Amino acid sequence: MDRNQILCRADELNSLLDDPNIRIVDGSWHLPNANRDALFEYQKDHIPGAVFFDIDTASDPNSGLPHTMPDAATFSTYAGSLGITDEHQIIVYDTAGLFSAARVWWMFRQFGATNVRVLDGGLPAWKNAGLPTTSDVVEIASVKFNASAPRDVVGLSAMRSHVDVGDVQILDARGAGRFSGKEAEPRPGMRAGHMPNATNVPFTALLNDDGTVKSTDDLKALFAEKQVDETAPIVTSCGSGVTAAIIVLALELIGCRNAQLYDGSWSEWGSLQDTPIEVD
């Protein structure tokens, strides 16, 4: 897929600020041990016109897991409350460069929006380009988002089957220490390690030092080094389904559109006592 259909440059977004069909979304989210308040930071400093998308609010309240996917009706109500329809051009960013914005990008796509992109390099790239931010409150008029049912979400029972049968490639976006089991998980009560036959593809390896996404050639080389078959089924995973979406985004940039995402990810798999786990 054309890189410009997935990513948006800061200068391009700046030229689109007055376009009535554009919706800019701050999709920032931080790990529990980061001690950061994404909403508070947004209120102090955001791209003009951007609304705040709360991953934890836009989730299934009954799952018992962090920010798992809601049903279509719940997402429709939440997205509509932000003034976003499924026909808008949506551009998502986060404060890290690229961390949680890919999850929001993936969610909008799963629920039927077709024109969704990620600001390459996020808020840091915007600021590095000398572009303005604001603390102004954005006025929002509720609209109707026509959500469809997600297609590429993998639940626990399907994930158990995939692990048992070995019929998919499992790509884990966590860092090497957590994947190997040598580092403790940031959430209490979770076992350390990874799913059997999973491949570690740390999301940081897909990014440049400035938080922008690596070139298509570099991504192809990385996935080739990891022996990923782009033509075979893929399921991505991470700690709680956030950075797994960065792998999905990177795969789409190299033309691979057959990746699904295990929504419960390690927050589910690692918290259970009967799921098989390997350590290195």
The domains of the chain, with CATH numbers, are 3-128 (3.40.250.10), 153-269 (3.40.250.10)
**Which residues of the chain carry a pLDDT beneath 50?**
none
Which DSSP string do the residues of 118-151 spell out, in sequence order? EETTHHHHHHHTT---B-PPPP-------PPPPS
pLDDT at 109: 98
Whether 208 and 69 have beta carbons less than 8 Å apart is answered as no
Provide the CA 270 distance to its chain's centre, in angstroms: 20
Whether 83 and 143 have beta carbons less than 8 Å apart is answered as yes
- Check residue 223 and report its DSSP letter: H
pLDDT at 1: 62
Active site residue 256: no
pLDDT at 67: 93
The most distant pair of C-alpha atoms in the chain lies apart, rounded to whole Å, by 53
- Check residue 46 and report its DSSP letter: B
- SS3 category, 203: helix
Whether 250 and 213 have beta carbons less than 8 Å apart is answered as yes
Q: Which residue of the set 119, 238, 242, 261 is catalytic?
A: 238
